[in-house]
């Protein structure tokens, strides 16, 4: 088949493995002819205006880069001039109008990092882990004017292991994009893709995360707390107050065992963790970071920051991450 002329829409580094495949062995299926991405934004501690990873990738390959503040009529005209067969969207950060979606000959497809219709919305990777899922994936769907609700072409499943953080799971999902796209593009070229409507009764929504989500309530079960710690690492990250200092948590698991202390009580240590009592089970903190320090395995952290058994860690109310109905737009 003649390679499809493909325009990529995205602003996050999660798409880089897919773009590298498209630029390499995937070039026989599709050739990226341009990139639409977010405008350069201030980033880092110095808040210096920097291009995002997708723009840097495109510039290094001498591809045209378009950075509209919003995909308006002028942007649609730019897209039309590219005479693209297909637009592929992943973590772009803009809602797209119907006329924009219809501009490429085969329309626009979106890669979403969940097994839709579950975990529509802004934080599917983090929320899947924090919700205790053992499987997620990447879904390829048509874009419609409703949040992550378009008909599905196909999905690539990815396992979630007990100690997977959001950071690590993202790398697995990034790698899963290429097998999915490579399966679908030839069928799309031949007009043989069957798009399946989503079951709206099964839809759930995950919201945008904030720093305020990084708190723990030790009245929850140890399983719930471990999943939340792992799911929210590295952003926004969970933390607890120890000796008057906010200690960040980078990895956890749990024991389904009776805890003799009250919820939040430090029980002591084992070979790889700091053990905390909860209302149901024992939370094992495996990686910790003091202010100004590095994230360290618990034994190394505790050599420089001892935490006495019997210390009680304060609980704070945790906001739900998941909504079973579409959140209202305000």
User: Residue 135 and residue 158: Cα distance in Å, rounded?
Assistant: 6
Please report which helix (H) or strand (E) contains residue 141, including its range.
strand 135-142
DSSP string, 95-109: ---HHHHTSSTT-EE
283-312: pLDDT as tens digits? 999 999 999 999 999 999 999 999 999 999
pLDDT of residue 200: 94
Mean pLDDT, residues 29-44: 93
What pTM was estimated for this model as a whole?
0.94
**Are the CB atoms for 218 and 226 separated by under 8 Å?**
no
* Token representation of residue 284: 């094992």
The percentage of residues in the chain with a pLDDT greater than 70, rounded to a whole number, is 98
| Distance (Å) of CA 157 to CA 86, 87, 115, 193 | 24, 23, 8, 19
User: Residue 133 and residue 206: Cα distance in Å, rounded?
Assistant: 14
Q: What angle do CA 151, 110, 88 make, to 5 degrees?
A: 130
At residue 154, the 3 state secondary structure works out as strand
228-275: pLDDT as tens digits? 999 999 999 999 999 999 999 999 999 998 888 899 999 999 999 999
For 23-27, 79-83, 322-326, which range has the lowest pLDDT when averaged over its residues? 322-326
Positive/negative CA dihedral, 243, 244, 249, 252: positive
Domains of the chain plus CATH, in order, are: 4-205 (3.40.50.170), 211-304 (3.10.25.10)
pLDDT at residue 136 is higher than 90: yes
161-179: pLDDT as tens digits? 999 999 999 999 999 999 9
Mean pLDDT, residues 135-148: 95
194-223: pLDDT as tens digits? 999 999 999 999 999 999 999 999 999 999
pLDDT at residue 330 is higher than 50: no
pLDDT of residue 329: 35
pLDDT of residue 179: 98
């Amino acid at each position: 088949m003649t390679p499809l002329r493909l325009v990529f829409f995205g602003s996050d580094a999660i798409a880089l493995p897919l773009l590298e495949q498209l630029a390499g062995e995937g070039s026989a299926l599709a050739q990226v002819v341009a990139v639409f991405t977010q405008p350069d934004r201030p980033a880092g501690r110095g808040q210096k205006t920097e291009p995002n990873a997708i723009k840097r990738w495109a510039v290094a390959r001498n591809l045209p880069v378009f950075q509209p503040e919003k995909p308006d009529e002028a942007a649609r005209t730019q897209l039309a001039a590219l005479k693209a067969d297909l637009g592929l969207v992943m973590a772009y950060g803009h809602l797209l109008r119907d006329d924009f979606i219809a501009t490429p000959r085969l329309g626009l497809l979106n890669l979403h990092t969940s097994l839709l219709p579950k975990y529509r919305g802004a934080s599917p990777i983090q929320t899947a882990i924090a919700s205790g899922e053992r499987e997620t994936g990447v879904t390829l769907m048509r874009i419609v004017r409703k949040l992550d609700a378009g008909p599905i072409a196909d999905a690539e499943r990815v396992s979630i292991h007990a100690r997977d953080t959001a950071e690590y799971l993202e790398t697995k999902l990034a790698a899963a994009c290429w097998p999915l796209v490579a399966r679908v593009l030839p069928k799309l070229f031949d007009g043989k893709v069957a798009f399946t409507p989503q079951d709206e009764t099964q839809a759930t929504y995950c919201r945008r995360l904030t720093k305020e989500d990084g708190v723990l309530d030790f009245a929850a079960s140890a399983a719930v707390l471990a999943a939340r710690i792992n799911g929210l690492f590295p952003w926004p990250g969970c933390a607890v107050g120890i000796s008057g200092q906010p200690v960040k948590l980078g990895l956890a698991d749990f024991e389904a065992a009776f805890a003799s202390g009250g919820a939040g009580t430090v029980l002591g240590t084992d070979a790889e963790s700091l053990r905390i009592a909860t209302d149901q089970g024992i939370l094992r903190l495996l990686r910790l970071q003091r202010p100004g320090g590095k994230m360290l395995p618990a034994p190394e952290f505790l050599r420089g920051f001892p935490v006495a058994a019997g210390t009680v860690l304060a609980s704070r109310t945790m906001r739900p991450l998941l909504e079973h109905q579409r959140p209202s737009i305000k």
